[in-house]
Amino acid sequence: MAAETKIVEDATKAAEASGGLPQLDFSTWSSQIFWLVISFGLLYLVLWRIILPRIGAGISERGDRIADDLDVASQMQKEAEEASIAYERVLANAKAKAHNIAETTRKSVDADIAAEVETAEASFAKKQVVADERIRDIRREALSNIDNVAKDAISAILAKFGNVKTTAAETNSAISKLKS
C-alpha cells in the first residue's frame, strides 16, 4: 500500500507542478486523439449500422401506414358517397312509388265515388219516374173526382143557401158551362 500511496503522491505533485488542465498537456494529446478517433469511429459505426437504420425504418413504416390509412379513408369516403347516392336514389324511388300508389288510390276512390253517384242518380231517376207517374195518377184521379165533388158541393150549397133542389143533369150542365 505504501507503493500505491507514493504513486498517487507523485501524480498529485506532477499535476500541481504543471499548473493547468491535464487535457491541455501536449504530451498526452496523441493518446487523447487516438481514443477520440476510436470513440467517434465506434459511435459512427453504431449510428450508421444500428440506430439510423432503425429510425429510418420507423419513419418509412410510419409513412407507409399513413399512406395506407389515407388510401383506406379515401376508399371509405367513396363508399360513403356511393351509399349516399344509392340512399337518395332509393328514397326518390320510394317517394315516386308512394306518389303513384296515392294517385292510383285517389283515382280508384274517385271512380268508386263516381260509380256510387251514378248508381244513386240512376236510383233517384227511377224513383223520380215512379213518383211522377204516381203524381199524374193522383192528379188524374183527383181531376176525375173533382166533377163529382163539384156537383155535390153545388147541390149542397144551393140546397142550404137557396133552398133549391137540383137534379144531376142541371148540375152537370152548370159545371160544363163553368169549364168552358
CA dihedral of 29, 31, 32, 37, whole degrees rounded to 10: 120
CB 158 within 8 A of CB 164: yes
Q: pLDDT value at position 94?
A: 94
Tell me what pLDDT residue 20 has: 64
* End-to-end CA gap in the chain: 182
Give per-10-residue mean pLDDT for the chain (180 aa). 75 64 76 93 95 94 95 96 95 94 94 91 90 89 77 79 77 74
Residue 70, pLDDT score? 95
Phi, psi of 165 (to 5 degrees): -105, 130
Q: What is the DSSP letter of 164?
A: -
Q: Residue written as cell 276512390?
A: 109
Residue 165: what residue type? K
**pTM for this one?**
0.41
The pLDDT of residue 140 is 84
* pLDDT reported for residue 3: 74
